Structure 1
Amino acid sequence: MNYNIPENLKGLTEAEVEASRKKYGYNRLEAVKKETWADMLIDILKEPMLILLICVSLIYVIIGDYGEALFMLVAIIGVTAISFYQDNRSKKALEELEKLNEPLSTVIRNSKIIKIPTFEIAVGDLCITEEGNLINADGTIVHSNDFSVNQSSLTGESFSVFKDSKSEDNKVYSGTITVSGLAVFEVEQIGKETKVGKIGQSILGIKEEISPLQLQIRNFVKGMAIIGLIIFMAVCIFSYIKTEDFVTSLLSGLTLAMSVLPEEIPVAFTTFMALGAWKLMREGIIIKRSSIVETLGSVTVICTDKTGTITENSMQLKHLYDYKSDTIYEQENFKTKELDELIDYAMWSSEPVPFDPMEITLHKIYEQTQDSDDRKNYQLFHEYPLEGKPPMMTHLFENEQKERIIAAKGAPEAILTVSELSEEEKNKIRNIVKEFGEQGYRVLGVAKSHFEGNNFPENQQDFSFEFLGLTAFYDPPKKEIKEVLQHIYNAGIKVKVITGDNADTTKAIALQAGIINNAPAVNGSDVTASSEDDLMKLSEKTTLFTRMFPEAKLEVVNALKAQGNVVAMLGDGVNDGPALKAAHIGVAMGNKGTEIAKSAAALVITNDDLEKLVVGIAAGRRIYANIKKAVQYIISIHIPIILTVSLPLFLGWVFPHIFTPVHVIFLELVMGPTCSIVYENEPIEKDEMQRPPRVLTDTFLNWRELMVSIIQGLVITAGILWIYQHSVHLGNDEPTTRAWVFSTLIFANILLSLVNRSFHYSIFESFKNRNYLLAGISVLVLVLLFVILYVKPVSGFFSVAPLTVKELGLTFLTAAVSVFWFEIYKLLKRLLERK
């Protein structure tokens, strides 16, 4: 972008940057300590499951059973490796997100204007800040152009302050916001030495609030851990009373404690969230906090801007209405002499270096239609930024001969209000504006003024303006927007359009885009004038909110939240900041979004495409559903392990220690990857985006879902205990009985992981959703089972006997019956739903 920066501003050289960095460091509030692999390893070794394993292996060493101790060591390495792999994947995913979330700053170095990560700003750098930017260091202004700044983050005063290099206060401060114009400042303090750094260290100690889902999972794991401790004590005492063998009793207790502890759940949660955020990042959706993925799936209302989100943001100038000739001109007639003044002042009322699509178009039309280009001869020397309700803006230019151009443009109503026209003339123009609006055109009014001297009025509305005419832009809806909106409606999500445009244009575009609207549009002033109760009713039934300003946007978002909605708010400007911050999910636009909007938002869509938000919502729903499947699988498979370890002991059966720590840890090694790696990779179910959103306050697992998992676990337990008793009844010895029980549990585990892929669709329907990881791990587990059963040194170590094909078939059949009954339950459930 051309910033029109004076040539004498060269900036630092690379050598000067290095020297400055050695002396003052990086622009960070504190040194970021990167977690090393050693830190990760220590954290993993603190996990309860690892501590239990280490205890068991030490006991085996003490009693001289070195074979068991060696297996435990292998198990410790295996569990650590799985945890390390998961943690490392999560860490890498979060680091990638951090890199993308790092804001960029514009600096002059070696006489070139470049963008650098904000933490790389060095003392002595020349930083450029412009409208909508967050200032990221303290410094002194060396050049400015109609620059004003909001310092409320430091002073508490909300009004903006105009500053330049000659002002009494010519300083800028980190954390403040550029409201208008442009400034170049020389950096004097960075990081902890800035004003905000000195007063804001306490902010670094504030921990991010944990989400309701995290809290529920944490409480569930704590509850299971307490139950595990109680059962551990009970088994130790009961076993010691019966056998008076302290070591055997302690091993029995530790075996049961390992079977109760659901340490896979927190690992699964962290993995799902971090990898979910990382996968979305690859889709062009940058998420600031991985926990926001969970909230995405609960969105009930999307509040979206119109321009650039629903429309293409192409802004083609279709018509010009010239007031003097009282004529509407088509595109092909724009070179008509009667339009010279209107086109001239429409261009002058735009930014000299335009970035808004409408202003870019006005500059192009000026180039194509005017005989001489006066833009180099005139300098912008005073401006009034876009403000007011409805808004307008005014620019004052002057050439070397002190000839002036005072040009204004804005919402037609704003321009009509300040123009010297009779009410009859104003009504006539309002009708033209309405006709344009009903065709979906974006309409701006253009006016000119004359003013001698430099004692300019405080407000632009105090100038005396001459009305020149109207510009009618057409910004067509995006080609695929109807389909995108239909996906949103199918998912049970409402759409609200919140725009600064007028009601007629918004209605026309909404109709063309396929937005469902059965209520009249409401404008911003009506929103702020409504009582709290009225606003809640209004925000519920209204779809189109027009002529909106920051306070009105914020009130609508808060009213929707008060009704229990989960609100996603899309915004791109400085004025969207409060509403983006207030929404459950603030969504900023990556292309047209200001730095303020991006820093206020929880999520950034890199290509400004509403379809990406739908992708995010689908990912949120998939991840939440998969976490539930993983947890339900863990509950269901833990129950038979717990009861198979404890019941033979408590009931005094012939083989009380049917499972030892060796068997339980093998099962743990199977279950860990299944729930945290395999289920994370599970695709979305085909009707997930046709269901209404879940209520955010819902308990993670309600009693009905919990009971389903408990019953699944109890039925598998019944099958395993039947196999146990059947084997004993046939007169089999302990190794054979153990082989029967162990094989049944392994088969049940594999079949359960397949059945629980969906709690609605049949297992055959689920096979259509390919999950190669699930197939791979299932095959690997079967291979390991056959190695345990039929490779002599291994079977001896696991204390199992090889089974015949018939015996193995019986264990598989028992497992199938104890798991596949759930398929009949799902079928009946589907039939009842159809009725």
Structure 2
Amino acid sequence: GDHIDLAAGDVVPADARLLSADGLEVDESSLTGESLPVAKGVDATPGAPVARRTCMVFEGTTVVAGRAEALVVDTGDHTEAGRAVALASRTPPPAGVQARLQELTRKALPVTLTGGALVTGLSLLRGSPLRRAVSGGVAVAVAAVPEGLPLVATVAQMAAARRLSRRGVLVRTPRTLEALGRVDTMCFDKTGTLTENRLRLVRVAAADGAVLAPDDERAVPVVRMAARACPQEETTEGRKVAHATDEAVLDAAPPDEDWTPDGELAFEASRGYAAAVGRDGEDGAYLVVKGAPETVLPACADLPEEAADAAHTLAGQGLRVLAVARRRYEGADPEAEVQAGLSGLELVGFVALADVPRDTSRELLVALRKSGILPVMLTGDHPETARAIALQLGWPEETQVVTGDDLVAMGRAERVRALHGAGVVARVAPEQKLHVVEALQQAGRVVAMAGDGANDAAAIRAADVGVGIEARGSAAARNAADIVLTGGDLSVLVDAFAEGRALWRSVADAVSILIGGNAGEVGFSVLGTLLAGSSPLSTRQLLLVNLLTDMFPAMAVAVTPSNDPSTAAHAETGPMGLDVLGTPLLRSIRRRGVTTCLGAVAAYLIGRFTPGTERRSTTMALCGVVGAQLVQTLSGRRHSTLVWVTALGSAAVLAALVQTPGVSHFFGCVPLGPAAWTGVALAITLSALAPRLERLTAVRHLYALATRLTQRLTDSARHTRHTLHTGIARPVA
């Protein structure tokens, strides 16, 4: 109900209905995404979208020209800006790594419990005392639990977030990095994100229809004449440009010492042009006009046909075209001359303005496409303008353009189909940006959304990864974002996607170390019990294995940076999927488990068939287990200095523990001699070479047998769990 007065430079405090308007133009780019100022009037626009509601002014927008009186109709959360922020208050989608790791833990736990039960059962069958049999089974079950698994994803996420922070990317939620690795579609708000949100003079057309670059020699007279028709306001700080179009023309114009202004008429939307009267050195006095072609051209005499064609050509490229004309002035009253109507003008040419792309935008989009990510541009501009800018940014000629109104009129399935081949969405309102993101997600895409205005907040929140821009973004966009870019260069997004993909690979490899190594330990304990009547490795020894081969090496792998060749190669192949922690990981776990078990069994058998005690054999088996796992870890991360340091450090600690008499006895070991260490080295070498010799028939059969045994253990665990839950036994293959 309040009345507000608005003038150039004011920020509109609330949504309001215009009661009167005098040449009012408003910059609504922060709300609608349309880069050019919007001319306002009092005529009603019922049912029009926000971008074309010319009888209204909206909270947070800026008056760039004219004056107005308006009646406040909405404040706070009820304004268009407030509704855009409210749409952003949605819960972000759940991340995938933690859920997948929980699933793997549920699968691994029955296997470890089954392994412990088998050790106990086999020990009893071989005549071991009950206490010793149960103790061995419990030791295997407890030691085989992958205790480092809950930490792997967290440590990897924090390490990646720290690396990105050094590049100007602040990760508000570390789990966001998981989604970054899976992103396959990147939506951009155009205005202020891909473009500078600042008008620039990009083309000039001469009176004969020739279209020229602004720095062309024939374009200079046209630009200089357009600059003469740019009025400036008198302020306490000097003369100031009032309108964004005038500022763009003056920035491109060369110095003009010959022009002396005598009178000026500022641009008003209702008039459609700006004018100035002045003297051009010795050439005499002129009235110079710059304005909309539909206003200026009818007042020109002897208009060449090519001129109108040039104006249409420039407008078809999505540019804002202004006609420049002049006529001689012989009178004595400059103010009367500029206020008089237009007639008898001589066309000088046209200047074309546009919100130009940022210098880094094209390279960014090329890099995204190269990495397998589809860019989509969202803008409030006219479809032709949007298409022209998209082509400048590198979108292909066949790029389809759809409008926000068209999408709203479609059903869900039709909307998904329309967006399948569309690279540009024009005339899109804030809630329609949200529809675009949700439709892409419904089509099975993983979507990131980057924007800097309040109108982007809802879409940023709904996206799998929301990207805000600290340097020039609104508070609403930053608060809704999952990651915030502290600088204005969006090219760091390529690094962020690479880190996300490397995170998935590092987590998968670390999980393989944790679960695969433990699976090998369980397998060796079962086989060792068959051979010796009890588990060869004690509880302390199994826990020592986990400490030396699981925790530290796995964490070192988890924090491997994205520029490591082992992760960079996978990051370049395209977005990661949840299947990275699926079948390929299970295959890697089985391979690692079999290789670890082979190294331990080989070392144990060498110890049993060479002179020495049983404790010497179990000590050799302990070294074989640790050595086989460390060698596998190094082979997968041979370029990582941290992994080398961790692995060699673990090996050195093991050797020191084994060779120090008192400590060795505490862990149930004995110091080993040269022959025993040679046997351990031979066993580790055999286990390391085995995966490379799979083509040999005997080794292939051994791997197949071990794989079937692992599958049997898994089936048996499922059978036991099913019986315990239902009381009904079901057949096991």
Please give the range of the TM-score, normalised by the shorter of the 2 chains. Answer: 0.5 to 0.7
1:677 and 2:561 equivalent?
no
CA deviations on 1:364-422 (whole Å, 9 max, x unpaired) are 689988967999x99x9xx99xxxxxxx999xxxxxxxxxxxxxx99x8xx979x999x
Q: Residues 334 and 446 (structure 1 numbering): CA distance in 2 closer, same or farther, change over 3 Å? A: closer
- 1:266 paired with 2:150, answer yes
How far apart in 1 are the matches of 2:79 and 2:682? Answer: 69
Structure 1: which amino acid aligns with 2:681? F
Q: Distance in 2 between matches of 1:826 and 1:282?
A: 46
Matched letter for residue 264 of structure 1? G
Identify the match of residue 593 of structure 1 among 455, 473, 483: 473
2:540 aligned partner: 662
Name the SS of the counterpart of 2:686 in structure 1. helix
Task: Indicate the residue corresponding to 1:494 in structure 2.
Answer: 374
Match of 1:636 among 516, 521, 540: 516
CA distance in 2, matches of 1:218, 1:331: 67
Which residue of the other structure, out of 419, 436, 443, is the alignment partner of 2:320?
443
Q: Residue type of the partner of 2:499? A: A
> Taking structure 1 as reference, are residues 526 and 657 closer, same or farther at Cα in structure 2, changes over 3 Å only?
closer
Paired residues, number: 591
RMSD: 5.5
Q: Give the number of the structure with larger relative contact order, counting CA–CA contacts within 8 Å between residues 6 or more apart.
A: 2
Report the equivalent of 1:70. Answer: none
> Considering only CA atoms, is the larger Rg found in Structure 1 or Structure 2?
2
**Equivalent residues in 2 for 1:502-541 (5 A)?**
502-503=382-383, 506-541=386-421
Shift of 1:747: 1.2
Q: Is the 8 A contact 1:132 1:177 kept in 2?
A: no
Quote the residue 2:160 is aligned against: 276
Q: Secondary structure at the match of 2:105?
A: helix
Q: Please say if residues 224 and 260 of structure 1, whose CA atoms lie closer than 8 Å, have aligned partners that are also in contact.
A: no
What residue in structure 1 maps to residue 666 of structure 2? 797
Indicate whether 1:812 and 2:681 are aligned.
yes
Residues 319 and 471 of structure 1 are in contact (CA less than 8 Å); yes or no, is this contact kept in structure 2? Answer: yes
Using the alignment, how far apart are the partners of 1:171 and 1:552 within structure 2?
Answer: 21
Which position in structure 2 is the counterpart of 1:620? 500
- 1:730 corresponds in structure 2 to 610
CA distance in 1, matches of 2:603, 2:173: 48
Distance 1:798 1:552, change over 3 A: closer
Are 1:297 and 2:181 counterparts?
A: yes
* Equivalent position to 1:577, from 439, 453, 457: 457
Match of 1:747 in 2: 627
Q: Is the 8 A contact 1:255 1:661 kept in 2?
A: yes
User: 1:318 and 1:416 mapped to 2: Cα distance?
Assistant: 20
Do the aligned partners of residues 374 and 777 (structure 1) sit closer, same or farther apart at CA in structure 2, a change above 3 Å counting?
farther
Q: 1:571 to 1:215 in 2, by over 3 A?
A: same
Deviations 1:404-461 (A, max 9, x none): xxxxx99x8xx979x999xxx9x999955552256x67426799xxxxxxxxxxxxxx
Deviations 1:477-503 (A, max 9, x none): 555555443332222222223334455
Q: Tell me how far apart the structure 2 counterparts of residues 569 and 710 of structure 1 sit (CA, whole Å).
A: 39
Range 520-529 or range 275-284, more displaced: 520-529
Show the counterpart of 2:653.
Answer: 784
Q: What is the deviation of 1:664?
A: 1.5
Corresponding residue SS for 1:543? strand
**231, 242, 246: which one pairs with 1:344?**
231
Deviation at 1:805, TM superposition (A): 3.0
Contact 2:607-2:679 at 8 Å conserved across structures: no
- Pairwise CA distance, 1:624: 0.6
C-alpha distance in 2 between matches for 1:477 and 1:629:
41
2:425 to 540, 545, 561: 545
Give, as a single letter, the amino acid of the residue that structure 1 aligns with 2:511.
V
Q: 1:334 Cα shift?
A: 6.4
Question: Following TM superposition, by how much is the alpha carbon of 1:214 offset from its aligned partner in structure 2, in angstroms?
Answer: 1.3
Offset at 1:573?
1.7
* Identical residues among aligned pairs (%): 22
**CA shift at 1:626, angstroms?**
0.6
Task: After TM superposition, list the pairs within 5 Å mapping 1:44-193 onto structure 2.
Answer: none
Task: Please say if residues 344 and 366 of structure 1, whose CA atoms lie closer than 8 Å, have aligned partners that are also in contact.
Answer: no
Q: For residues 557 and 433 of structure 1, what CA distance do their matches in structure 2 show?
A: 36
CA offset at residue 253 of structure 1?
3.9
Q: Helix, strand or coil: the match of 1:795?
A: helix
Q: Which amino acid counterpart does residue 367 of structure 2 have in structure 1? A: H
Asked whether 1:556 is paired with 2:436, we answer yes
SS in 1 for 2:589: helix
Q: Does residue 560 of structure 2 align to residue 691 of structure 1?
A: no
User: Under a length normalisation based on structure 1, what TM-score does the superposition of the two structures give?
Assistant: 0.59
One-letter amino acid of the counterpart of residue 666, structure 2: F
| Deviations 1:127-175, CA, capped at 9 Å, x for gaps | xxx99999xxxxxxxxxxxxxxxxxxxxxxx996799xx9999997699
Could you tell me whether the CA contact under 8 Å between 2:181 and 2:504 is conserved in 1?
yes
2: CA distance, partners of 1:675 / 1:327: 63
Unaligned runs of 5+ in 2: 1-26, 32-55, 62-68, 273-289, 325-342, 697-733
Give the deviation of 1:211 after TM superposition: 1.9
| Cα distance change on mapping 1:801 and 1:500 into 2, 3 Å | same
Unaligned runs of 5+ in 1: 1-129, 135-157, 181-195, 197-202, 385-391, 395-408, 448-465, 758-766, 828-835
Q: Report the Cα distance in structure 2 between the residues aligned to 1:579 and 1:356, rounded to whole angstroms.
A: 31
Q: How far 1:618 sits from its partner (Å)?
A: 0.5
Which position in structure 2 is the counterpart of 1:822? 691
The answer to whether the 8 A contact 1:631-1:675 is kept is yes
Q: Kindly provide the amino acid, as one letter, of the partner of residue 506 in structure 2.
A: N
Question: What SS is found at the alignment partner of 1:518?
Answer: coil
Distance in 2, matches of 1:826 and 1:285, equals 47
- CA shift digits 1:811-835 (9 cap, x unpaired): 22222222333346799xxxxxxxx
- Mark the CA change 1:477 to 1:648 in structure 2 (over 3 Å): closer, same or farther: same
CA 1:374–1:809 in structure 2 vs 1: closer, same or farther (change >3 Å)? farther
Q: TM-score, normalised by structure 2?
A: 0.66
Distance in 1 of aligned mates of 2:514 and 2:354: 56
Output the CA distance in 1 between the equivalents of 2:185 and 2:101.
Answer: 26
